[in-house]
Chains A and B, each alone.
Chain A
């Protein structure tokens, strides 16, 4: 009798199929389907209690899926957890660190535990995470941001293909958050696949190549950011009314095609003009699609509107024809935040 094939060759970095999980009598994950190519940075977004951590713990082999199949780099997490552990670097949310050891000792311990053999990896990951100067510092004396970087250094030691980070930027100040973000970009360049969860949207928007939005255990939207935005826009154009009621038992796949649509979203456009901005106010007030205008010193205008890019172009053209010297146009674009609010509207707990 031949042994069943253990690893699927040419498999995507992460593949989740019909994943269900239950705690007690509560379905925490309901038929989650997800596929993630190598080298992507995937943002896993959802309100508190949506089931992000549960999904992540299953990916990291710390929890066993109750039904469905979950594969990481072609290894089935419930059949070959040891292999999955070799290819995954997992950073838990609110993880602890050993006190009374130095940064270097901490990393050396994990390098030994991972049996990497060559302790040169410690230097490499210290370098990557910029912990060089702190190597002799006691772990207990590190700040939260430094501890977070230490955790990142730890999960890089065994050179995993897939990094799974649960809320890597929570509790961090904006500066530390930017540092982590830059680090993620660097890791992407090294060819790593990154799966990160968050409910802070802005920290993800400029690093993620694709996102998935989880809501009450169901994946309501998943895909590359640009594609999702287009799909949402198309859906909005088709059904401009209110958000479609989601039917109970509806499969997430059905909702992908026709995502629930929110009432007009307020978007903001920042304009800078030469001269007094207040003089421009009458030109914009009452214009079609304009929801509100504010002027401030320095020729700054803040236009709230419900239109798309065409609207922005139209506003600029109109102002120019009216003789206003427009020197700066800055559409406030946070696609992710918009997507998130539209999809999970009313369900934020």
Chain B
């Protein structure tokens, strides 16, 4: 059975006022950070490479500018240069920052300097922060180095100085996310080359997705909300800041959402890094649990944004929100599939020593407390979203829409219960985090896609009878079929709705049963482990007392 870990050393001071902490940080900067800065300041190779990249970008910008001048009006050239430059800068940061960050912790391990660092008692958090600051300083320095090149577009007009400045600021915010991502990867590896390759293999597709989806794709959507924002411009956010009119949408979509997204992702990778660097008996759970608590609340709120964006079909927005939130909850299941069954001996002792509150213990290592938080947040979120959807449908005056929202909400809730139950049982039966995660992913795939394959085969066998579709009822996607059949007059409507409802009930009941079985098994194993531990302690103590008691010692007196 794997064990879990505990909160920072009991010597850790109670959270001091922020001012005092900042003062202390100023007087005693993170030693890992200063050391890394010093080391990289002495490296000559990397700045050389960066200078070459900068030169190439300048050349490209100059060529575009030179070729376009004379043919096209200068404002359009400036705008095109602005888009080009920040697209390239985005790519450079998206690939460079994770690559730099991913080698740092891994190279301490491979260079055998890791043990000495660990034994200084700095702690995983301080080391992570130091590494983060070091990699971030480096990347930020590079972004600053690029500044004159980016300002070139400004000369042609078409973009304002504020836009360029804001674009740089956003680039710096994005660099923080990218560095945290690289650190998260680094904390898993002990070979820097492998870590860099893995970080590139993941950051390249992710950055493409972000660029095309959140850049080009979202710019089209934003054009709908604010026609002032040109569509099909990947670097739209700085422009939006300048041109969009200030209203609730502005605050929510342009400020709160991007900042929450950046903070949530950075914080997640920070906690992952800290957990990966801690020992097997340390508390590796509390940090991630705190993150999950805050982040899930934010995600639940943010997932209601479609309701705001689609004022005419608000109930559809609520359904989109339900599906998106369910997707997030699947991630939560995968995350907690790595949770230890219970606190380690050390964590337990430290809790007893410090009379840890029930809240601290609930937020500490343990599969069932973790799934408890997941279920509480998940069910509340899904319930609220369903209620919002019903409310929107009511405002629209459509009973059908309300029923559709209910069908989606019910299916999502039941299926979430099943997934949480599956997580509980598969984790309780496995030795480590890998097996339950694989089981979860495979089951998800089979259950989502499998029933449709069956339905297709059944449809062929039944000679195209439309009622064959009911074989797909166990797939959560069937909620869409149910919702669309609500107002139809098709013959198989009654059957499909009945089978669908049965599937919903089935998933919910199965989920509850799996949760019960997982909880029971997890409790049994934890108790057995602690009993064995106590027995061992007793045996050791007995032996000690025997050795101390002179009357027992042979030949005494």
- How many angstroms between the C-alpha atoms of A88 and B119 in the bound complex? 9
Encoded as 1 (CB less than 8 Å from any A CB) or 0, chain B from 6 to 37 comes to 00010100000000000000001001101100
Q: Measured between alpha carbons, how far is A324 from B543 in the docked complex, in Å?
A: 60
List the A residue with the shortest CB-CB distance to B350.
A79
Residues of A within 8 A of B349 (CB): 4, 79
In the complex, chain A residues whose CB is within 8 Å of the CB of B369 = none
A1-31 interface mask toward B, CB cutoff 8 Å, 1 = contact, 0 = none?
1011010000000000110000000000000
Query: In whole angstroms, what is the CA distance A110 to B34 when docked?
Result: 12
Shortest Cβ gap from A11 to chain B (Å): 11
Task: State whether the Cβ of B552 lies closer than 8 Å to any Cβ in chain A.
Answer: no
Please tell me which stretch of B38-46, B162-170, B297-305, B452-460 contacts chain A, meaning at least 4 of its Cβ atoms lie within 8 angstroms of it.
B38-46
- Could you tell me if B536 and A67 are in contact, using CB atoms closer than 8 angstroms? yes
B346 touches A1 (CB 8 A): no
B352 touches A3 (CB 8 A): yes
Q: Which residues of A contact B43 (CB under 8 A)?
A: 100
Residues of A within 8 A of B115 (CB): 60, 62, 90, 92, 95
- B42 and A100 within 8 A (CB): yes
Interchain CB contact under 8 A, A18 and B540 = yes
Would A6 and B353 be within 8 Å (CB), given that A17-B540, A94-B112, A101-B39 are in contact?
A: yes
A335 at the interface (CB under 8 A from B): no
CA distance A92 to B111 in the complex (A): 12
Complex Cα distance, B113 from A97, in Å, reads 6
Residue of B at shortest CB range from A8? B544
Tell me if B117 and A113 are in contact (CB < 8 A). Answer: yes
A4 lies within 8 A of B352 (CB): yes
Interface status of A318 (Cβ within 8 A of chain B): no
Q: How far is the CA of A62 from the CA of B112 in the complex (A)?
A: 13
Q: Give the residues in chain B near A82, CB-CB below 8 Å.
A: 9, 11, 121
Q: Which of B117-150 contact A (CB under 8 A)?
A: 117-122
Bound complex: CA of A44 vs CA of B251, how far in Å?
67
* Complex contact A105–B112 (CB within 8 A): no
Size band of the A side of the interface? Answer: 35 or more
**Interchain CB contact under 8 A, B9 and A101:** no
Within 8 A of A (CB), among B99-115: 111-113, 115
Q: Are A114 and B121 within 8 A (Cβ)?
A: yes
Say if the beta carbon of A243 comes within 8 Å of chain B.
Answer: no
List A contacts of B11 (CB < 8 A). 82
A-B Cβ contacts below 8 A, count: 89
A69 interface residue per 8 A CB criterion: yes
Q: In the complex, what residue of chain B is closest to A113 when comparing beta carbons?
A: B120
B35 in contact with A90 (CB, 8 Å): no
A33 to chain B, nearest CB (A): 10
> Which chain A residue has the least Cβ–Cβ distance from B353?
A3
Q: Is the CB of A95 within 8 A of B116?
A: yes
Task: Tell me if B119 and A69 are in contact (CB < 8 A).
Answer: no
Given contacts A79-B349, A110-B120, A113-B120, contact A96 B38 (CB under 8 A): no
B345 located at the interface, meaning its Cβ lies under 8 Å from any Cβ of chain A in the complex: yes
Q: Are A92 and B112 in contact (CB under 8 A)?
A: yes
Shortest Cβ-Cβ A-B pairs, 6 listed = A113-B120, A96-B112, A3-B353, A96-B111, A112-B31, A100-B42
Interface centre among B28, B115, B119, B281 (most CB of A within 10 A): B119
Given contacts A3-B352, A3-B353, A88-B119, contact A98 B113 (CB under 8 A): yes
- How near does chain A come to B38, taking the closest CB pair, in angstroms? 6
Q: Does B516 contact A (CB under 8 A)?
A: no
0 or 1 for each of B275-316: is its CB under 8 Å from A? (1 = yes): 000011100000000000000000000000000000000000
Chain A residues in 8 Å Cβ range of B31: 109, 112-113
Interface residue ranges of B347-365 to A (CB < 8 Å) = 349, 352-355
Which of chain B's residues have a CB closer than 8 A to the CB of A60? 115, 119
Please name 15 pairs of A and B residues whose Cβ atoms are closer than 8 Å in the assembled complex, sorted by A: A3-B355, A17-B543, A60-B119, A67-B536, A68-B540, A81-B279, A82-B121, A86-B121, A90-B119, A94-B112, A95-B112, A95-B113, A97-B113, A100-B39, A101-B38
Question: Does A64 touch B at the CB level, under 8 Å?
Answer: yes
Question: A57-69 toward B: CB 8 Å interface, digit per residue (1/0)?
Answer: 0001110100111
Which chain A residue shows the least CB distance to B533?
A67
